[in-house]
Structure 1
Amino acid sequence: MLNTVACVLIDRLEPFEFGLICEVFGIDRTADGVPPIEFRVCAEEPGKPLSTNVGVSLTPELGLDALVGADLVAIPAFTIRDEYPPAVLDAVRQAAEAGATLLTVCSGAFLLGEAGLLDGRHCTMHWREQQRFAERFPLAKLDPDVLFVDDGNIITSAGTASGIDACLHLVRREHGSAAATAIARRMVVAPQREGGQRQYVELPIPDCSADSLTPLLTWMLKHLDTEHPVSELARRAQLSERTFARRFVAETGTTPHRWLTSQRVLRARRLLEDTDFSIDDVAQHSGFGTAALLRHHFHRAVGVAPNDYRRTFAHRPA
Structure 2
Amino acid sequence: MHTVAILVLDQTVVYDMAIPVEVFGRVRLPDGRRPYRVQVCGTQPYVATEIFTIHPPWGLDALADADTIIVPGCESAEPPPATVLEALRDAAARGTRIASICGGAFTLAATGLLDGLAATTHWTAAEPFAEMFPKVEVRPDVLYVDNGQFLTSAGASAGLDLCLHMVRRDLGSAIAADAARLAVTPLEREGGQAQYIVHEQHPVPRGSLLEPTLTWIEDHLGEDLTLEVMAARCGMSTRTFSRRFREHTGTTPLQWLLRARVRRAQYLLEHTDHSVERIAVQAGFGSATAFRERFKRVAGTTPHAYRAAFRGPR
TM-score (norm 2): 0.64
Q: Does 1:50 align with 2:47?
A: yes
Change (3 A) 1:251 1:17: farther
Q: Which residue of 2 aligns with 1:126?
A: 122
**Mapping 1:219-258, distance limit 5 Å:** 246-251=303-308
Match of 1:11 in 2: 10
Contact conserved, 1:194 with 1:252, CA < 8 A, in 2?
Answer: no
Across the two proteins, how many residue pairs are aligned to each other?
214
1:309 maps to none
Once superposed, what is the RMSD of the aligned Cα atoms?
2.1
- Alignment partners' CA distance in 2, 1:80 and 1:12: 6
Equivalent residues of 2:27, 2:175 under 8 A apart: no
Asked if residue 141 in structure 1 is aligned to residue 137 in structure 2, the reply is yes
What's the offset of the Cα at 1:32? 7.7
Please state if 1:206 is matched with 2:306: no
The residue number in structure 2 matching 1:189 is: 185
The alpha-carbon deviation at position 29 of structure 1 amounts to: 2.9
Q: Please state how far the C-alpha of 1:30 moved relative to its aligned partner.
A: 4.0
Structure 2 equivalent of residue 41 of structure 1: 40
- 1:84-137 deviations in Å (ceiling 9; x for gaps): 111111111111111101111000010011111111111111110011000000
Residue type at the aligned position of 1:250 = R
What do the CA deviations read for 1:242-293 (whole angstroms, capped 9, x no partner)?
xxx745333469xxxxxxxxxxxxxxxxxxxxxxxxxxxxxxxxxxxxxxxx
TM-score by length of 1: 0.63
Are 1:34 and 1:182, in contact at CA under 8 Å, matched by a contact in 2? no
Shift of 1:4: 1.0
Question: Tell me, what secondary structure is at the counterpart of 1:206?
Answer: helix
Instruction: Report the CA distance between 1:72 and its aligned residue.
Output: 0.4
Deviation of 1:9 (Å) = 0.8
Q: Are the equivalent residues in 2 in contact too, given 1:33–1:179 (CA < 8 A)?
A: no
When Rg is computed on C-alpha atoms for both structures, the one with the higher figure is 2
Q: Deviations over 1:177-235 (max 9, x none)?
A: 011111110110111112111100126481268xxxxxxxxxxxxxxxxxxxxxxxxxx
Whether the 8 Å CA contact 1:145–1:196 is kept in 2: the answer is yes
Supply the AA of the counterpart residue of 2:185.
V
Percent identity over the alignment?
A: 39
Shift of the alpha carbon at 1:35?
4.8
Unaligned stretches of 5+ residues in structure 1: 210-244, 254-318
Cα deviation, residue 31, structure 1: 6.1
Q: How much has 1:163 moved relative to structure 2?
A: 0.5
**Aligned to 1:40, what secondary structure does the other structure show?**
strand
Distance 1:77 1:208, change over 3 A: farther
Q: Aligned to 2:157, which of 138, 161, 167?
A: 161
**Distance in 1, Cα, partners of 2:123 & 2:155:** 8
1:68 is paired with a residue whose SS is helix
1:132 is matched by which residue type in structure 2?
Answer: P
Question: Is the counterpart of residue 172 in structure 1 residue 131 in structure 2?
Answer: no
Pairing 1:93–2:92 present: no
Contact 1:80-1:110 at 8 Å conserved across structures:
no
CA contact (8 A) 1:102 1:153 kept: yes
Read off the aligned partner of 2:46 and give its amino acid letter: P
Q: CA separation of 1:165/1:28 partners in 2, compared to 1, >3 Å: closer, same or farther?
A: closer
In structure 2, the partner of 1:216 is: none
Taking the aligned partners of 2:76 and 2:197, their CA distance within structure 1 comes to 20
Cα-to-partner distance string for 1:141-189 (whole Å, 9 max, x where unaligned): 1112111000110110011111001110111111100111111101101
In structure 2, give the amino acid aligned to 1:52: T
